[in-house]
Every structure is written in C-alpha cells, then in structure tokens.
Amino acid sequence: MTHALPYFEDFAPTTGASRRPRSCLHSDAPRIVLNGDWRFRLSPTPRGLSDEMADPAFDDSGWDEIPVPSHWVLGQDGRFGLPAYTNVQYPFPVEPPFVPDENPTGDYRVEIDVPTDWQSLERVVLRFEGVESAFKVWLNGDEVGTAMGSRLSHEFDVTASLRPGSNVLAVRVHQWSIASYLEDQDQWWMPGIFRDVTLLGRPEGGIDDAWTRAEYDHETGAGTVHVEVDAEPSAFPVTFEVEDLGIHVTWDTPADIAPVHVDRVEPWSAESPTQYQGFLRTNVEALSIRLGFRTVRIEGDRFLVNGRRVVFHGVNRHEAHPERGRVFDEEHARADMLLMKQHNVNAIRTSHYPPHPRVLDLADELGFWVIDECDLETHGFEFGGWVGNPSDDPRFADAYLDRIERTIERDKNHPSIVMWSLGNESGTGRNLAAMSAWVHRRDPGRPVHYEGDYTGEYTDVYSRMYSNLQETESIGSDVIPGDLLGCTPGEGMRQRTKPFILCEYVHAMGNGPGQIGEYEDLVLRYPRLHGGFVWEWRDHGILTETADGEAFYAYGGDFGEVVHDGNFVMDGMVLPDDTPTPGLAEYKAVVQPVAFGLERDGGSATLVVENRYHSISTAHASLVWVLAVDGDDVATGVLDAAAVAAGDTARIPLPADALDAGELAGGDTGGSAPEVWLTVQAILRDDAPWAEAGHVVAVQQFDLTPAPRPAVPARWVDADEETYPASGATRLTLGDGEFDLATGRLVRLGSLEVDGPRLELWRAPTDNDRSDSSGSYELADPRLTFGKGVPGPSSEARWRQAGLDRLTHRVRSVKVGSGSLMVVVRTSAAQSFDSVDTTYCWTEGADGDLGLRVDIVPSAGWAITWPRVGIRIDLPASVTNAEWFGTGPFESYPDSRRAALVGRFSSLVDDLGAVYSMPQETGHRSDLRELELGTFDGEGGIVIQARPDTAGRRPGFTASRHTPQELDRAAHPHELPASEAVHLYIDAAQHGLGSRACGLDVLPEHQLWPSARTLELTIRSR
C-alpha cells in the first residue's frame, strides 16, 4: 500500500495559506512581535505524533519553555539534543525525498493577545523570518499551512483564524526534511525557530509591497527613481516623497506611476553610502524607504558601479554567534561589520543564504558591496558524482524557484546588493538555469552569479573558488594554456568575455592564510580580475564547557557526532571570541585603499600616493610621516597635500626636516650606520561611522638606511689556545652565563635558570600543514604544473615520517678555550640516515655579554622541507614580558608579512600568539634585531641582539609557554598541560603558511629546504 508523503518529504515548498514573497517593509501599520518564551516539547520522531497539541484547549503545562528565536540544540544543556557540523557530507542517508524516522521534531505553542481594534484590519499576516528546516502552523486549532526554506521569510494569511483577545499559535518544526537536501551549507545543523516571528496588521488601502530602484547617471550626476507599488486600486492615491531631493509626487491610479527624475544626487557606493530618506504613503499607511542611487553595469569584462570598475575586497559571511548560533544579535553583527570596515573589507558574500534582514540594512548604512546568495547548496551529492542532484531533477523545480523568488523579493530594495547569487556548490542543471532566467526577468539591473556554472551558460560573471595563482593570472591576462575548468573550448571563449571574481579564496583556517598579497598583485595588474571573497569571516566555534566547567570553543565531533568534519568549521579571520587573527591584519595591509611609493633623486625624495578607492578622494585622510632611527621616532609631520581623486596618483615632495633627520644615517656612529625607516600613514581626519579619528587606513614603510651594518663575526680562540674541560669539571662560567660541560648547554644567565640552546626543526603543524586537499608544491613546482602541483601527502605527514617531531641529540664535542666554548651536537631521528650538525661557539665579552655563533649544517641526504630551523632556549615561567626591535606588532611568516612593520614593540608573552581553537604554530616575529624577555617584577631577564647573516638574512623569534610537541598533542587549548617554562625560539628561518587546508600549498619561494644556516647573537642578562 502506498502512503502519501508527509509534508516534510513533499516536493511542494509551501502549502495552505502561504503568501507570495515580498519585501521586508518598514511600515507604520500595527504589528505584534512574538519573540519571547514559548512552550516547547521535543519528540525523537514525527511518526505517530498527533495534531492535538494545536487545540487551544490542549494542556501544555507539562512542557518546557524555550526562547524564540533560538536553536533547541543550544543553551539547553543538551536535553534537546546537540549541534552537529558537516562540511559536505549529509548527516543522514542520501535518498531524496526521504529523511530518517529518527527526525527530532519540536512542537511550539504561544498565546497571543490581539487588540480588539485589529478587527478593522483587512488582513492579518503571520511572518516567520527563519525556521529550520520544515514547519507546520496552526492558529486556534486551524491548520494554516506549511513551509520549507530555513533562511527564507515565509508569510501566512491568518485572518480567518484570528480573533480578538487570546489566540493560541502552534508550530511543529522538523530537523530533517526534503529541504535539508538543499541546505548542505558547511555549517552547524541547528534546528528551531531561530529568527523573528511577527504578526502584521494589514489595513485596507495599504501597500502590500514596494520596490524603489534608484539609478544613477555617472556622466550627468542625475538620478532616476523607478517605483513599483503592489496595492489594490482602492489604495490610491499614493504619494512618494523625498524631502532632501524635493520629491513630492502623488499618483491617483496605478497607471499614473512613472519614473521620478532628479537633476543632481549624491551616489551610493561602498565608500560613500549616501542614502536619502523617503516615504510612500496612502491614506492609511506610510512606508519608510531608504534610497541609495547607484547603477550596476557589465561592459565587456568589466564590472562597473556608477561607471567605475569595482574591486571586491570581500569576505564570506555566515551567520555565526558562539552562544546563539544563527540567531541574530544586532550588536554583534554591527561590531563584526565595523571590524570589517576597519580592516579595509568592502564587500560581503552572504554565504550561503540571505542573512537576517537587518544585516542588509547595516550594509546599506555602513557601505558594503553585497552578493546576496540564495539559500541553496546540495554539495553532498558530489560524493555520488552528482547523480540524483536536485539541481537537475524536475521534481525540485518549484522548490528552486521558490527559494530564489523569496531571496530577491525580500531584499530587492537594498542598494548594497550588486549581484544575486543562485546558491553554492550545487552542481549544475536545469533548475539553476530556470532560477537565473527568472532573476533576469525580474531584476535586469543586477547581474547573476553562481560559481558552479563553469560553462557560463546562465550567469553574468565568471566566478571561481580557489583557482591557483597561475590559473588566475592566465584568466586575467587571457593567455590560457588549455581549457578552462569544466569548459569546452567554445564555452571557455564565452567565459573569457566576462568579469572574473574569486567567490572564495585564501582559505583562512588556523594560522594563515599565506599568499594573500600574490593574489592582490594579480588583481592590480589585470583589470579583468575584480578581486574576491576570503573564506571566511569568522570561526563558527560554539562556546561550551568541559565536564569540570572549563570553557572552550567546540567544533565538529565535540558534541559526539558520528558524522562530522572536525575543525573545518574554524576557518575564519576572526576567532570565536571576536579576536581578529593575524591573517586579518595581513589582509588589511594587502588590500589597503591608499598605496605609497618613494622616488629618490640625490638629496630629495618624493612620496608617490596612489588612490585605489572606487569613488572617493583621499580628502578624509591625513598623510602622516614618521622617521625612526634604530626603532626610535625622531621626527614626524603631516604632509600638506591636496586630496587625490579616486584612481589617480599624486607625487608629493617630502619635507626638508624629514630629509634632515635622514642625515643621521650618515653621521659618525662609530662605524655602525643606524637603521633609518620612514613610515607613512593615511589616517582618518575625523570620526567616521565605522571608526574614530586617527584610525590607520593604510601604512607603508621605506628603508632609508644608506648601507647595512657590517657583520661582526663571533670571536673564537686560536687553535693553539684551545683546551678541553679539566678532568672532573662539570661547570664553566663565561660572563653572565654558567654552562653544563656535559651537554654544553647554558644553564644559568644572571639570576635566571635557563636550558639551551638546542636545535629545533619542528613546529606544531598548522591546519594548512596538516592538509593534503590540493596538490603538493614540494613535490612539483607550480610554475611547471600550471599551479596544480601533484597529489601528495601533507607537509605534516612528510615531516613526521622524517621524525622531525621526535629529534634526538648527541653531543659530539665540548671544547673550552680562553674565554670561549665550542659545542658540536648532532641531531637526528630514529631510523633516519639524515642528520644536522650544529656548532655553538660562545665567546665572553668585556661587559659580561656572551657572543653566540650557531652554525647549522645538514647532511646531504635531506629530501623534504623543514617546518623551521633555529634554536630553543627554555626560560623560567616567571618570564612574562617581551620587548623587541624587529617586525611587529603582528606576527609574520615568509608568505604573510605585508602587515609587518619594523620598529620597537612590546607585549605580554601570553599575548604573542593567537589562541586558535585547535592549537598550532603561532606567534613568530621576523627580522629580529633585539629582544628582551623579563619577569613581571623586573628582577631578571634575558637580552638578545641578533645580526644578519652573510646573506643579509635576519632571524625571527617565538616565545611560548608550550612547546611545539605540547601544542601538537592538544586538540583544544584547555587540553594543554600546565605551563612550567617559557620556550624561546630564535629561528634562522620558517616554512611559509600557504592555505592548503583548502587552497594553495606554500609557494617555492616561501618553502624552507635544508641548507646551512648561521645565527649571530649577543646574549646577556638583564
């Protein structure tokens, strides 16, 4: 016997009194917000559940209470289940339209008190902004309808069921439904009524929907407003007014509505988000409308807004809160978006669904280019070769169209939206093509985006994710060897005519991403490339606790999920606790909208200022210069320069006092020329809506040092002075240091007990080190493989196989000279034929200083990269403070150092590294000149001066309370052992970061291959 499918397995996206989609309007008509505490009951399955709970007389006194909006798997101590994270795989069997009987189902009830005067309303509408994943609605026992589409707005006409006074609303929500197959979106699966619920009064003669399209003519400065009003003829006359533009127009009938022309308007852009307050009025209702004048065009392979090419310096933004999940928190969202603006982010892709409506209001207000993405992803079908993919299944046609219609109709009034996206990673097929056709008919003023349309059949831009540098450059230059991904030659020709964007790139998981700058260099070089959107903005960690109450941020598997994708959900440029990562600082520096260059001609110098903004001049910024000698500021000033127009370049002579200060580099300094650095900043003159006056928008440094300091080799005694330790001697004192002659290690420096140095080649693997998701650049040069590399194990796997995480050391010799000590140590791993000989040459200085030269010489057999090469010195746990002359304030690595500035910086040791939710390598600072580590009370410490090697390379440093081995063994920060020391690493070099967790391996020029290295240090106690 065949049974009818339950509604949550039915292909129809909505049933009953579901209304057609419309805008999220700001109306003065009456409304009742239903957010608050509702009665709640959870059942493990919908099978056998009756509808009796919808009866107003049903006794729900034994039910629990739950806040609406919320996810029932959050904030309830696990009694209603727990979240689950997957990236691609579905957490249930793939057999659409069916879902398992084990389908948690939540029943909600709430009493609504409706004013008596609502009887005069023509209609009453019940609006849900977000429910995951399918739901049925009853009012006063009457079944109203069903709906699916978790991140989409749904309205029901409840006029017939509503009564004055007390009403009972009942809602049944299913975690799994046929809609779940369309919502496989690389995020936590978290069911519930998680957005606002509102009862809307609709007066007779009101406006049901409105669309105001404000176009801008960049050649004349004029604006035109096209108004679309959805209202009954009885609602007219309708008045449209914008006081600041002198608009006051009344239309007596629908046929009278016509475009409104304005001779001069200020355009809207992401940099200057000018909006005008307007109103649409009938005799009974007024709609508040914000107008932003802008026009989007594609001309050839250029994406233009207001006639100018746009470069997207964007991020992918999921809705993620560490305690509330996808429940909207306006304060949190605004803080996030302010942080974006402060880091030069100008665009948002709403991955992978429309956000809460207020997010788009904020985007209009603060200024972002937005790609608004439909609530659609079927990525799990890729595991089956896309067989049965709903995107090409005609049974899903109505669901696909319903989703795109709801996206566009809700959000069509926002000037920030410059593209519609059909969804994400859903293969391709006729349903996507039909969505695109509908969008082009409904809104020809905005292009259509979808990365999965590899052939360009139904989209307007060529979009890719994670294309490598060689491929991206070939697309930008139109010199393309072979076919484009997924294209025949003919289809490739079509794609080559379109603007190109990277809808996802530089995957920001853990420490990284590397190589942001290389992508931006291509965007600057090739106008066809229009930038991209970093994956992604923030980590999705959920704040939870261990059994003994210790807080931590959970990722996949931490809630006992059998099917999960681990910490792949921790891949943002902002940590779960809202802390920006070093990767975000690097991104800000790479994409800064004002760039500087320096032209020198004899004794004069000219600053070159390039304005890379889309549409505004540099009038909002002061250009401040600072001259520093050996890290100390000696002169500063503000350049008196005219504003530079968008897209223009200006040359500004540097003032004489800056050049005079530069003369310090040529003075008599005892034969050691000081370092002279000129730093130029563009800073906000006045407060802006997104940052206070003084905020640094852009910064660049220039090295004015006329010549490098001469290298000072470490002193060693002559051969005939060489002696060996006296028989029975166990200790040696040189200057401030005491050495153990059995190991040759320094064991005391002044009042500090220390241990070291010893060679270190291991670092706690980063998420990128751990991954083999893309081709290896260690095994094949990307320049010879069109950026693909070859399939190969992760860097971590190769390093572990070589035993770099478990090195052993053997002292080969300890030799004592006159005021000197030489120690030779061989380092290798079990079953390894490769080794490293390290020679430590200590010399005693006149003031108790210790000179240390470290020569690191690998054997000839090494065939892998190294994570790092340097030395480790263990210091007491009482060491708390760090001050250094080198690069900072942020950490830096070979392929992530454009944010690194040379200067003098300070930090607590505990703050030197980022606290990633999965512990890993962090905290390295490059180009060290001088380092001082001291105790909080100032009673002890170590001072290290570092000189460049003969190739001019300076070392870097890391100071951490945990060793790489300890970090490596911990899956979360709370699993780290109690700290017993501070571990100082002076690295001759580090391997790059890359973004291989989902992207590029480390480029050859940033890889660390074994070779001889030298450290030249001076060490003393403080």
Q: Distance between terminal CA atoms of the chain?
A: 87
Any alpha helices (H) in 623-694, and if so which ranges? 656-662
3-class SS of residue 746: strand
User: How far apart are alpha carbons 602 and 654 in whole angstroms?
Assistant: 13
What is the chain's alpha carbon radius of gyration, rounded to the nearest angstrom? 32
Residue type, 858: P
Residue type, 350: T
Instruction: State the virtual CA torsion across 70, 71, 74, 76 in degrees, nearest 10.
Output: 70
What's the DSSP call for residue 335? H
3-class SS of residue 476: helix
Residues recognised as catalytic? 425, 504
3-class SS of residue 911: helix
Contact 197, 37 (CB under 8 A): no
What is the crossing angle of helices 582-590 and 516-525, to 10°? 20
Enumerate long-range contacts of 54-57, CB under 8 Å, 24 or more apart.
54/138, 54/141, 54/143, 54/168, 54/170, 55/141, 56/140, 56/141, 56/167, 56/168
User: How far apart are alpha carbons 160 and 124 in whole angstroms?
Assistant: 9
Contact 522, 902 (CB under 8 A): no
User: How far apart are alpha carbons 308 and 296 in whole angstroms?
Assistant: 9
Question: Which residue, 675, 511, 589, is CA-closest to 889?
Answer: 589
Residues 6+ apart with CB under 8 A from 640: none
Residues 6+ apart with CB under 8 A from 726: none
Residue 617 CA to chain centroid, in angstroms? 27
Number of H helices, E strands in the chain: 12, 61
Per-residue HEC secondary structure of 293-330 comes to: CCCEEEECCEEEECCEECCEEEEECCCCECCCECCCCH
User: How far apart are alpha carbons 832 and 806 in whole angstroms?
Assistant: 11
Residues 6+ apart with CB under 8 A from 229: 207, 209, 210, 238, 251, 254, 257, 280
Tokens of residue 991, six digits: 């391997």
Contact 421, 370 (CB under 8 A): no
**H-helix or E-strand containing 623?**
strand 621-629
Residue type, 978: A
Question: Which residue, 197, 169, 166, is CA-closest to 40?
Answer: 169
What's the DSSP call for residue 338? H
User: How far apart are alpha carbons 548 and 551 in whole angstroms?
Assistant: 9
Tokens of residue 611, six digits: 């304005």
Q: Which residue has the tokens 């931006």?
A: 520
**H-helix or E-strand containing 406?**
helix 397-411
Measured from the Cβ of residue 628, the count of other Cβ atoms closer than 10 Å reads 23
Q: Which residue has the tokens 């930090």?
A: 907
3-class SS of residue 752: strand
Peptide bond into 133 cis (omega under 30): yes
